[in-house]
Structure 1
Amino acid sequence: MRNRRIARWLGAAPLLLLMAQALPAPALAGAPRSAAATINSGSVDKVMADSLATQKLAGGVVGVMKGGKIVLVKGYGMADLEDGQAVKPDTIFRIGSITKQFTSAMLMMLVERGQLSLSDPISKYFPDFPHPEGITVRHLLDHTSGIHSYTDKVFMASRGWREHDTKEMVSYIAGQDNLTDFPVGTEYRYNNSAYVMAGAIVEKLTGKPYAVALDEMIVKPLGLTDTVYDDERTIVPRRAKGYGLRDGKLAYPVALSVSVSGGAGAIRSTATDMLRWHEALFAGKVVKPESLALMIEPAKLKDGRLTSQARKPGPDGRAPMDYGLGLGVGTRDGHRLIGHGGAINGFNAMLYTYPDDGTSIVLLTNTDGGANELYWKVAQAWLGSQGGATSK
């Protein structure tokens, strides 16, 4: 049944996951490959130019994959405002919570190896965690654990700037005065604490730091060249500086050590790597079809409701997307989509695959909130000019 659900969700082509039909190896194109792609690229150029003209976006990279081939990767704006360095197609950005799908995928790989079950109680991995009753690994991954997310003003002001290791972060989460926000499984609340703990489980089961596990389990096997567990102390050629807004003008963001993000948001990468990652994930090169089916199956609460049914519409009035295990799933402007956004001080990113369109679109920006609305304009500019539904 689950395999049939994923078949319906992903569509017949080009993501023929259940037939184990891998897509062609991605081919990076320095320029669009067709007249249609040229038109689409021009539409994206205008959207990005209009955003940069507001002087509230430092820069960004747009990447598009169509039918397993990368047809557009283009940089816009500035990677470093002080030194006048432009964003290039291979500029490196922090991807924030897009990290969560990597963490989820690694745990699903461990499930496939028989080292883990989604129904395992978290007490199996965190025996000293207070009041863990009823909380399982699945609850961590679908944001229904009820554990309070540590990313509040108290933590950010008092400790966010300081380097932490995974053990310290889990200890902080367990020691929060407001440890839980609701009984397990009764509500949905986006939860960074849960994914820091999920990353800790990766470390416990592999016996290796998250950075090493990521490299060995995903990065090297897929041939990703710029996807790394980040460290702000490392000198990284091609790395973009991050920016925020102060009094409506671009400025450096509030200081944050990326180490506090762990399995919730600590990866840095490029647009090309992000597209190759999604191609591999949905072509069955990362986890088995039944594991991917679980990752995109909408989570439910104890009362049987989808988690989306228990949430309010967003600021734009749109119904919330459903959430699986590290991946959001839903429909926007007539296009089904699967993916995630990510925000971490100075950076904002979005990566979604549109299965019916055979297309993946990524936007990486080096400005707080830079992708939140802009991504959907970019997606509309690309998909809309191909005859698909457009935003109203």
Structure 2
Amino acid sequence: MRRIPSRRLCTAALLVASVLAPMTAVPATSVHAAAVDPHSVNPYSGDRHDKDDCPPDGLDPKLTTRLDKAIAGVRRDAEVPGVIVGLWMPGKGCYVRATGVADTATGRPMTTDPFMRIGSETKTFTVTALLKLVDDGRIGLDDPISKYIHGVPGGKRITLRHLAEMRSGLFPYSADPDFVQDLLSDPTRSFTPREVLAYGFKHKNTFKPGKQFQYSNSNLVLLGLVIEKVSGHNLVDFIDKRVLHPAHLRNTLFPLDAEFPEPHPRGYTNQTLSGEVEDATDWNPSWGWAAGAMISNLHDLRRWAKIVATGTLLSPETQRERLKMLPTGFPGTNYGLGIFESDGWIGHNGSIPGYESVTVYLPSKKATLVVLLNTDISYENKEPSSVLAQKITEIVTPKNIYDRPVPPR
């Protein structure tokens, strides 16, 4: 995805990777992996696995070697503690690997089966839940947000579609300096949806609805409130019943607080008041709520990638609405309703302190790529998860490169 200021103050970050929008400007501080690096764990070497796993003779050996080398290179250069990669390409094979460490203090190796925080990938679940209500005939995408939620600045002109497309003009609450200070002063604090929205609502809207693209977590928190208002159920229960269960995602959950099922790796961030690296594993993601609080694992995300890109849970008409991609103003990046397209790859990525992810599907090849890692520390002003996805797709789908570099003018 093209570089859009979306996570760190005065620092360019990726369009869709970020749940935590502009925050503190921090110095680049490295995570040092344990000396046992690199670890390479094959899912058939004793880890818990299921029918989605990839046998050892997956892809062509030459491709496998190239992928191993590329991933190791990014991990080394970006100093990423641990990485999980899953690539499934019908007719060619698959590649499932965990490398590096899950805990830099103990050297515990990363494996392919842990639970991971998925940040902004939560948006694909929230918007799918919203679109279920569209299919039920209970809401319309062009309804104004004021019909459901009072107190939204300019709410009579902002539609649910504007919110899902990131074209509302509402100021991102996670870009508010007071929010950043309050969150980082006590990362275990629990925020309510109304509390986080208040940080954004004190700012003027940044543009008229529909006029341009701006990535804003405020949009998704509002959609979460709409789902609760219309369905009569809390968001966690609605997503569980109407999205996770029909999709057969047994290892995906919406935590109520800082809960984090085992096994999971430690996560490392420098989004701290000091700029020093801290362990963010047990930070409370409640501030991200409908925009970024969820947890999943490699194989659930593999399944979800195809479901969300092809619209299995939705009517064809509603899925067509979802995939009406609009330009973001950044070359190569288009955004639909809580979903993006990057050189043919459809899906979303996520970032939350300590963790990053990419989950995308390439319809032309019926290929799926999932990347998970236990740091969100940027590398050369880029999300390391996106650098990994780019390097992987350069090798396996050179005609469809995720976050394809823009040629210099």
SS in 2 for 1:151: helix
Q: 1:85: Cα distance to partner?
A: 2.0
1:329 aligned to 341, 344, 359, which one?
341
Partner of 2:391: 377
Q: Does 1:217 align with 2:231?
A: no
Q: Does 1:204 align with 2:216?
A: no
Instruction: Indicate if the aligned counterparts of 1:97 and 1:340 stay in contact, CA closer than 8 A.
Output: yes
Give the partner amino acid of 1:71.
Answer: C
Q: 1:108: Cα distance to partner?
A: 0.8
2:122 aligned to 73, 92, 99, which one?
99
Q: How much is the aligned-residue C-alpha RMSD, in angstroms?
A: 2.7
Q: 1:283: Cα distance to partner?
A: 4.6
Between Structure 1 and Structure 2, the one with more helix by share is: 1
Is the alpha carbon distance of 1:41 and 1:169 closer, same or farther for their aligned partners in structure 2, counting shifts above 3 Å? same
Instruction: Indicate if the aligned counterparts of 2:59 and 2:95 stay in contact, CA closer than 8 A.
Output: no
Give the partner amino acid of 1:267.
Answer: M
CA distance in 2, matches of 1:374, 1:171: 36
Give the partner amino acid of 2:352.
Answer: I
Q: Does 1:177 align with 2:202?
A: yes
**Which structure 2 residues correspond to residues 232-271 of structure 1 after superposition, within 5 A?**
233-245=258-270, 251-252=278-279, 256-271=283-298
2:347 aligned to 325, 339, 348, which one?
339
Instruction: Indicate if the aligned counterparts of 2:101 and 2:109 stay in contact, CA closer than 8 A.
Output: yes
Give the partner amino acid of 1:156.
Answer: V
Q: Does 1:288 align with 2:315?
A: yes
CA distance in 1, matches of 2:318, 2:144: 19
Give the partner amino acid of 2:333.
Answer: M
Q: How many residues align?
A: 342
Unaligned runs of 5+ in 1: 1-25, 300-306, 314-318
CA distance in 1, matches of 2:389, 2:83: 11
Give the partner amino acid of 1:157.
Answer: Q
Instruction: Indicate if the aligned counterparts of 1:140 and 1:194 stay in contact, CA closer than 8 A.
Output: yes
Instruction: Indicate if the aligned counterparts of 1:245 and 1:253 stay in contact, CA closer than 8 A.
Output: no
Is the alpha carbon distance of 1:163 and 1:372 closer, same or farther for their aligned partners in structure 2, counting shifts above 3 Å? same
Q: 1:259: Cα distance to partner?
A: 0.4
Worse-superposed segment, 183-192 or 274-283: 274-283
Give the partner amino acid of 1:115.
Answer: R
Q: 1:123: Cα distance to partner?
A: 0.7
CA offset digits 1:338-365 (Å, max 9, x no partner):
1222111111111221111220111111
Instruction: Indicate if the aligned counterparts of 1:146 and 1:182 stay in contact, CA closer than 8 A.
Output: yes
Partner of 2:39: none
CA distance in 2, matches of 1:97, 1:165: 18
- State TM-score, norm by structure 2: 0.76
Partner of 1:166: 193
Give the partner amino acid of 1:51.
Answer: V
Q: Does 1:40 align with 2:95?
A: no
CA offset digits 1:150-205 (Å, max 9, x no partner):
012331112463211234334444xx321411121222111110011111112222
Is the alpha carbon distance of 1:68 and 1:280 closer, same or farther for their aligned partners in structure 2, counting shifts above 3 Å? farther
- State TM-score, norm by structure 1: 0.79
**Identity, % of aligned positions:** 27
Partner of 2:143: 120
SS in 2 for 1:353: strand
Q: 1:253: Cα distance to partner?
A: 5.1
Unaligned runs of 5+ in 2: 1-49, 377-382
SS in 1 for 2:369: strand
